[in-house]
Amino acid sequence: MKIFQHVSDIGNLQQALADAFEIKQNRYKYQELGKNKTAMLIFFNNSLRTRLSTQKAALNLGMNVIVLDVNQGAWKLETERGVIMESDKSEHLLEAIPVMGCYCDLIGVRSFARFESRKDDYEEKILNQFIQYSGRPVFFMESATVHPLQAFADLITIEEYKDKTFIQPNPLFGGNPVQRTPNRRPKVVLSWAPHPKALPQAVPNSFAEWMNAADVDFVVTHPEGYELDPQFVGNAPVEYDQMKAFEGADFIYAKNWSCPGVTRPEDYGKVLGDYHDYLSWTVSDRQMAVTNQAFFMHCLPVRRNIIVTDSVIEAPTSIVIPEAANREISATVVLKRMLESL
């Protein structure tokens, strides 16, 4: 695997899941594979999980790791070609990228949507330059439009939990055990939730892309105007009534995203209206009550009592922590595949 961007890059999903569970049984099994190989992780944006889990994955495979926070100590980078560089940007991406490529064997990049131009974001202008000019395999650690390491971890988590019938309370928060009867084919609902600031579409885009490829009944719910790009959401049913969408669900995947600009390009990257008017979309016990004792998922970081109430995220059926733990597993599988193709 030379690029990890789309679900199609990982090939057969059953095989990818089998690889994930093999790694989870013994995450150090391929320690020799990464000997004297270096993973470079480039962050243009903040991160907790991606940074730590991807470093851990590289260490699992015996690799060396270099992490660079571009905005903390590196030169400010110009990204537009053809400009006279008289601003505060001292270096051009077109030199920086091949230089970074000199010091490593694999490159991971986090570069969020900038919301300046829908076209630039959806063409993956920054990541494509890394692919073109680094001379190294590139894996996406949340780009302008996708977050495949997250979506793969989400799929692993759904696979692990879909047949569980007895759930112990979270020792941190207490409560009573939950008994549930899973649907034969899990119903997975991606629900938009409110947020005060404009967030990217990368997480819901990838989640939709991966769920469309997985063996699940997938439904999307969001207010009108937040339609996701068809290249990711495909033919998945969209239900504008959140309560209806939640009926009988086995998994609720909450996430905010800003306007994808599909129906109104001029609204791209905006929070539509006053977010306080959308607080009925906050995932609470009211919506969870109509589900099939659904598991609650979120990629994190999450704003409590805006995206989800304390009671839902602290319930025994909240699996946000095991979901985050699986980021190490998805990243280990991805880096292993990339090392094998060097």
Instruction: Supply φ then ψ for residue 318, to 5 degrees.
Output: -80, 125
Which parts of 170-199 interact with ligand AN0 (CB under 6 A)? 199
Closest CB 237 distance from ligand CP, rounded Å: 26
Q: Are strands 187-192 and 251-255 parallel, antiparallel or unpaired?
A: parallel
Distance (Å, whole) CA 145 – CA 107: 18
- Binding test (CB under 6 A) with ligand CP, winner from 29, 300, 303, 322: 300
110 SS3 class: strand
**Does the footprint of ligand AN0 cover residue 320 (CB under 6 A)?**
no
Residue number of the CB closest to ligand CP reads: 50
- Binding test (CB under 6 A) with ligand AN0, winner from 39, 127, 151, 299: 299
Closest CB 112 distance from ligand CP, rounded Å: 9
Label residue 156 left, alpha or beta by phi (over 0 means left) and psi (-120 to 50 means alpha): alpha
Smaller CB separation from ligand CP, 283 or 293? 283
Closest CB 201 distance from ligand AN0, rounded Å: 8
339 SS3 class: helix
Distance (Å, whole) CA 120 – CA 84: 20
Mark residues 173-212: x for contact with ligand CP by CB under 6 A, - for none: ----------------------------------------
Which parts of 50-69 interact with ligand CP (CB under 6 A)? 50
Smaller CB separation from ligand CP, 78 or 328? 328
Task: Tell me which residue of 325, 330, 339, 324 sits closest to 30, measured CA to CA.
Answer: 339
**Does the footprint of ligand CP cover residue 299 (CB under 6 A)?**
yes
Distance (Å, whole) CA 297 – CA 24: 20
In single-letter form, the type of residue at position 313 comes to: I
Q: Which residues contact 82 (CB under 8 A, 6 or more apart)?
A: none
Smaller CB separation from ligand AN0, 136 or 298? 298
Distance (Å, whole) CA 312 – CA 288: 8
Q: Which residues contact 250 (CB under 8 A, 6 or more apart)?
A: 162, 182, 183, 186, 187, 188, 291, 292, 294, 295
Smaller CB separation from ligand AN0, 40 or 203? 203
- Binding test (CB under 6 A) with ligand AN0, winner from 75, 240, 301, 321: 301
Which parts of 127-146 interact with ligand CP (CB under 6 A)? 142
Which parts of 139-158 interact with ligand AN0 (CB under 6 A)? 142
Q: What are the tokens at 188?
A: 């997975």
The partner in contact with residue 293, picked from ligand AN0, ligand CP, none with C-beta cut-offs of 5 to 8 angstroms by kind, is: none
Smaller CB separation from ligand CP, 187 or 329? 329
Q: Which residues bind ligand AN0 (CB under 6 A)?
A: 142, 199-200, 202-203, 299, 301
Q: Which residues bind ligand CP (CB under 6 A)?
A: 47-50, 142, 150, 299-301
